[in-house]
């Protein structure tokens, strides 16, 4: 059985991953927006070349989420798996 301390650490890691993912997503959105505003202010003809990400569908977001969780918690899962959990 998983101890309470281990459960708390796993919950903390999961919540930390969620918060970090949201922060990174918001920062990227802010960066793309500021680049688009900057380029449109100084060179209106290049406005069509600015990459502005589309809203991702739920399936694409789920795929990215699963990939991020796998990368963040992969070593922990391998460690627990090697112990027979």
Please indicate, yes or no, whether residues 64 and 45 belong to a single structural domain of this protein.
no
Domain extent for 36: 23-53
* In the predicted structure, residue 1 carries a pLDDT above the cut 70: no
> In the predicted model, what is the mean pLDDT of residues 4-12?
90
CA neighbor of 68 nearest in space, from 6, 18, 3, 11: 18
pLDDT tens per residue across span 12-67: 999 999 999 999 999 998 888 888 887 777 765 554 555 555 665 667 777 878 88
Give the three-class secondary structure for 83: coil
pTM of the model: 0.43
Is 16 within a domain?
no
Please indicate, yes or no, whether residues 61 and 84 belong to a single structural domain of this protein.
yes
Which residues lie closer than 8 Å to 42 by C-beta, 6 or more apart? none
* In the predicted structure, residue 5 carries a pLDDT above the cut 80: yes
Is 6 within a domain?
no
Is 82 within a domain?
yes
Cα 16 to Cα 4: distance, rounded to the nearest angstrom: 18
């Amino acid at each position: 059985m998983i101890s309470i301390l281990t459960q708390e650490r796993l919950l903390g890691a999961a919540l930390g991953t969620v918060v970090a993912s949201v922060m990174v997503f918001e920062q990227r959105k802010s960066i793309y927006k500021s680049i688009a505003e900057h380029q449109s202010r100084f060179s209106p003809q290049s406005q069509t070349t600015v990459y502005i990400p589309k809203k991702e569908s739920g399936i694409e977001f789920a795929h990215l989420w699963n990939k991020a969780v796998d990368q963040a918690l992969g070593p922990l899962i391998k460690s627990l798996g090697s112990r027979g959990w």
